[in-house]
Chains A and B, each alone.
Chain A
Amino acid sequence: MTQTTAQPAHAPGTAPSGSAGKPKAFFSRYRPKVESLITCTTLAIIFLVWFEVTRRQVVPKIFIPSPHDVLMGFNETIFTGYHGKGLAYHCLVSLGRVLLGWVVACFLAVPLGLAMGLSSKVRAVFDYLIEFYRPLPPLAYYTLLVLWFGIGELSKVLLLFLAAIPPLTIGAVEGVREISPSVIQAARSLGANSRQVFYRIILPATTPAIITSMRISLGFTYTVLVAAEIVAATEGIGWMVWDASKFMRSDIIFVGIITMGATGIGLDACLRIAARRLLKWKYN
Chain B
Amino acid sequence: MQTQEGHLQVVNAVKIYDPGGANVCAVDDCSFEIKAGEFVAIVGPSGCGKTTLLNMTAGFEDTTAGEILMDGKVIAAPGKVPVPGPDRVVVFQAGALFDWMTVLENIVFGPVSTGAMTARDARAKALDLIRGAGLAGYENEYPIRISSGMKRRVEILRALINEPKTLLLDEPYRAMDAITKAVMHKFLLDVFDRVHKTVMFITHDLDEAIYLSDRVGIMTTRPGKFKTWINVDLPRPRDFTIKKTPEFLEYKRATLEAVHEEAKKSFERGEREGA
Contact = CB atoms under 8 A, between A and B. Distances in A.
B145 A23 contact: yes
Contacts of B144: 23, 281-282, 284
B146 interface: yes
Chain B contact surface mostly: loop
Interface string B142-169: 1111110010000000110010000000
Contacts of A23: 144-145
A214 to B, nearest CB: 17
Contacts of A190: 86, 89, 109-110, 113-114, 158-159, 162
A90 B143 CA distance: 47
A17 B86 contact: no
Nearest to A278: B100
Chain A contact surface mostly: helix
**Contact-residue size bin, chain B (C-beta under 8 Å from the other chain):** 35 or more
Contact of B98 (A185, A201, A207, A282): A201
Nearest to A27: B144
Given A190-B86, A282-B144, A204 B92 contact: no
A183 interface: yes
Interface in B108-160: 109-110, 113-114, 116, 137-138, 140-147, 150, 158-159
A171 to B, nearest CB: 17
B148 to A, nearest CB: 10
Given A18-B145, A204-B100, A282-B99, A191 B140 contact: no
Contacts of A186: 90, 92, 96, 98
A139 B30 CA distance: 64
Interface string B6-49: 00000000000000000000000000000000000000000000
Contacts, number: 102
B96 A182 contact: yes
Nearest to A183: B96
Interface residues of A, number: 32
23 contacts: A17-B137, A17-B140, A17-B141, A18-B145, A21-B138, A21-B141, A182-B93, A183-B98, A189-B84, A189-B89, A189-B90, A190-B86, A190-B162, A191-B84, A191-B114, A192-B109, A192-B114, A200-B98, A204-B100, A281-B99, A281-B142, A281-B144, A284-B145
Given A182-B92, A189-B84, A190-B158, 20 more contacts: A13-B140, A14-B140, A15-B140, A17-B140, A17-B141, A21-B138, A186-B90, A188-B60, A189-B60, A189-B88, A189-B89, A191-B110, A191-B113, A192-B113, A192-B114, A200-B98, A204-B98, A281-B100, A281-B101, A284-B145
